[in-house]
Each structure stands twice: as structure tokens, then as C-alpha cells.
């Protein structure tokens, strides 16, 4: 099996968020996918080790911001390489609450969901959410995972589904 095939799959880059007893939490994700059109449902796969995963399970809701090529690239380091358990990732970040969920305002738009199903795998939980709110922030070009790797020169946090150990 040549796992390099996975590198040709295309994704966006998202900040997936929830709340921990009212405190905003979040992490970087790339597996956000629209599943059905009507009613609109989406899925996102998050590692069991992400604190945001526990918070979404407890709260039953999540949101995500769709990052653009113009989004502040430091958001990815802030939300992708630390844990919301130890750090207030939203400190100094321009965000607002939409339908009770925090959404980062630097991006193309946002989606808010209530969890309607959870699917367990060995390392990740797939949350399936019915969309209860969505909005457009800008018409900027969406950031793709490929753009992030090739232009921003990022590397995957080790909890990402698409993480491939080097060497």
C-alpha cells in the first residue's frame, strides 16, 4: 500500500470549535465534509486526544470557521499545536458567538451544528452534525490543505487524520 496516494486528496482548512462550560475551545481540522444537502448535515473527524472532541461530546454542538488564503496564518499554530485544556486559544482572537458557539471571524464563513450522530473509530470520533446556522464572512479564496502545505509551509499536527510520519 502506497500511502502517498492520500496526499492527493483535497481538503479545506477549518477551525472547529465548541464550548467547555461556556469557555470557547477549538482546534484545526481538515476533514469537514458536507454529507447531505437537505437537511444540510456535515461531518468532522477529530482525534480522541483533542480536548475539543470531549467538549463537543459533552455539549452536543460544534461550529467551524472556513479559513481563507487571507486568514491570519498564526491561527493555525495557535489552534493546531496547543490544547484548549491548558490554553485559552481565543485570547486576542477576533471571534463572536453564533447560536451559542464561538466562531473565528477571519475566514470565508461559518457553520454551526447540533450533533445528530457520533461514529467511533480506533483513534478518532466522527461527529455528524445537522446545520442549524451558517453564514458568509467574505468572498476570499478558501484555504485548501494543499495551499497551507505548499505556501504557508505548514506541517500536520500529529492528531490530524492526514498526518503521515516523516521518514
Q: Does 155 bind its own copies (CB under 8 A)?
A: no
Smaller CB distance to its own copies: residue 93 or 111?
A: 111
- Residues, the chain: 167
Instruction: Say if CB 136 and CB 109 are below 8 A apart.
Output: yes
Phi, psi of 80, deg, nearest 5: -100, -20
Q: How many residues bind its own copies (CB under 8 A)?
A: 54
Smaller CB distance to its own copies: residue 17 or 32?
A: 32
Binding piece for its own copies, criterion CB under 8 A, among 18-26, 76-84, 85-93, 132-140: 132-140
Residue 106 CB contacts under 8 Å (≥ 6 apart), including other chains: 65, 67, 68, 70, 71, 72, 75, 94, 137
Phi, psi of 87, deg, nearest 5: -135, 140
Q: Does 83 bind its own copies (CB under 8 A)?
A: no
Which residues of the shown chain bind its own copies in the complex (CB under 8 A)?
Answer: 1-6, 8-12, 31-41, 43, 45, 66, 68, 108-111, 117, 119, 121-124, 126, 128, 131-136, 142-146, 160-164
Amino acid at each position: 500500500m502506497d500511502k502517498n496516494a492520500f496526499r492527493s486528496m483535497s481538503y479545506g482548512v477549518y477551525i472547529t470549535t465548541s464550548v467547555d462550560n461556556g469557555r470557547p475551545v477549538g482546534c484545526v481540522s481538515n476533514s469537514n465534509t458536507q454529507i447531505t444537502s437537505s437537511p444540510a448535515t456535515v461531518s468532522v473527524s477529530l482525534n480522541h486526544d483533542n480536548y475539543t472532541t470531549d467538549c463537543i461530546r459533552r455539549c452536543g454542538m460544534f461550529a467551524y470557521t472556513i479559513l481563507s488564503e487571507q486568514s491570519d496564518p498564526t491561527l493555525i499554530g495557535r489552534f493546531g499545536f496547543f490544547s484548549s485544556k491548558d490554553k485559552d486559544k481565543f485570547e486576542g482572537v477576533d471571534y463572536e458567538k453564533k447560536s451559542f458557539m464561538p466562531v473565528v471571524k477571519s475566514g470565508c464563513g461559518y457553520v454551526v451544528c447540533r450533533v445528530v450522530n457520533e461514529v467511533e473509530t480506533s483513534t478518532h470520533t466522527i461527529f455528524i452534525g445537522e446545520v442549524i446556522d451558517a453564514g458568509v464572512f467574505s468572498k476570499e479564496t478558501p484555504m485548501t490543505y494543499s495551499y497551507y502545505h505548499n505556501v504557508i509551509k505548514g506541517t500536520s499536527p500529529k492528531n490530524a487524520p492526514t498526518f503521515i510520519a516523516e521518514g
